[in-house]
Amino acid sequence: MKNRIKKIFRLTEKKIDTIIIKNSVFPYIDKNFFYTTGLENGIFEEATAILYTDGKIDLIISELEAETAKKADADITIYKSIEERNNILKEMLSPIKNIGINSRHISYMDYQKLKKLCPNSKFIDISDSFVKARLVKDTLEIQAIKKSCKIADQVMEKIPNMLCDGIHEYEVAAEIDYLLQKNGADKPAFDTISSFGKNTAEPHYSHGNTKLKKGDLVLLDFGACFKRYNSDITRTFVFGKIDKKQKEMHETVLTAQKIGFETIKPGIKAGEIHRVVSSYINNTKFKGCFTHSTGHSLGLEVHDGPGFSPESNIELKENMVLTVEPGVYIPGFGGIRIEDDILIVKNGIELLTNTTRELLEVM
């Protein structure tokens, strides 16, 4: 974890003496707390991590999670009350002149409290440094993501056996969530998308009480969370016989994804990937039917920083992990999306999700 902390400081252009990560109460917990401590379990509400340039950490932890915190390579101070915690923070931070904070995840209330506790300290936003550090994954992160992808693949392969006439969207979503944990996930990575028929034309549809019927498109988008790291996979099926329009949509999306795969390599600007993928789709009969970016970074969060959006100027580097997910959506008819997770390697990509991308007929 020391190397991660040193990387954050190295990527920080502003003059800072230390960095503080301050959690509030769930769900306002900064994922960078876990990135820098390596802690895989626990919630750590109201916990604080103070990071130093040499990679060392001070953790200020409540009695509730003291035992869990001991798994971190850190100096741990345990508090019994909020007043005691505030006194500890004041004592540790007051002598420090320039303190880096992650403004994207610290609550306004906590920020105001810190300023009151340390009136002579200057709090400086270094949130971009956290984002940059987490874009390029280390070996431990890649191992966890690969495991989460393997779990997602294992569940996706079981989908055809659970689809039947009259089943509800919410029933399939519940079964997917159950299978994710049964196959080793800590939890689903996000709210599982299970959509049938015309609902598949809504990219961020979740699931409802629509029943499956013959001829429906079935779009399933889900992921596994393993040791806090996430996967994200989407496949589309047809319940019954594939018709001509469905086949054309799928062939377009599959080809677009392959073009994306072939274009991705270190040194390319991320926005260029979206340009070539969307340009292909817009040169088919489905012009204007691809309504979102080509993909996003993946890691501790499902959207773990910049991705393949048209405005993204980040340079792709080895050991970045992203999704590639073109889609075609026709309101009133349905949509098809194929999404896979990729690791950028020296000469291109390594596919981390490998369930068949063919449009399967489920009878």
Give the tens place of pLDDT for each residue, 147-178.
999 999 999 999 999 999 999 999 999 999 99
CA distance 41 to 71: 10
Whether residue 97 sits in one domain with residue 211 = no
Q: How sure is the predictor about 321, in pLDDT bands with cuts at 50, 70 and 90?
A: very high
Asked if residues 11 and 129 have their Cβ atoms less than 8 Å apart, the reply is yes
Q: Is the four-CA dihedral 161, 167, 172, 175 of positive or negative sign? A: negative
Whether residue 17 sits in one domain with residue 129 = yes
Q: Is the pLDDT of residue 63 over 90?
A: yes
Q: What CATH number corresponds to the domain at position 16?
A: 3.40.350.10
Residues paired with residue 273 on neighbouring β-strands, in sequence order:
none
Whether residue 177 sits in one domain with residue 87 = no
- Structure token digits, residue 13: 């252009």
Whether residue 65 sits in one domain with residue 145 = no
The residue among 133, 150, 165 that closes a domain is 133
Strands (E), 228-297: 229-230, 233-239
Percent of the chain's residues with pLDDT above 70: 100
Q: Is the pLDDT of residue 363 over 90?
A: no
CA distance 328 to 282: 10
Whether residue 357 sits in one domain with residue 334 = yes
The SS3 of residue 2 is helix
The residue among 133, 165, 194 that closes a domain is 133
- Structure token digits, residue 111: 């920020």
Whether residue 177 sits in one domain with residue 56 = no
Whether residue 175 sits in one domain with residue 46 = no
Give the tens place of pLDDT for each residue, 280-304.
999 999 999 999 999 999 999 999 9
Percent of the chain's residues with pLDDT above 90: 99
Strands 327-330 and 360-362: unpaired
Whether residue 212 sits in one domain with residue 70 = no
Asked if residues 170 and 143 have their Cβ atoms less than 8 Å apart, the reply is no
Whether residue 212 sits in one domain with residue 145 = yes
The SS3 of residue 98 is strand
Whether residue 143 sits in one domain with residue 101 = no
Whether residue 299 sits in one domain with residue 249 = yes
The SS3 of residue 232 is coil
Whether residue 341 sits in one domain with residue 232 = yes
- When divided into structural domains, the chain yields a total of 2
Give the tens place of pLDDT for each residue, 191-228.
999 999 999 999 999 999 999 999 999 999 999 999 99
Domain residues for the domain of 214 are 139-362
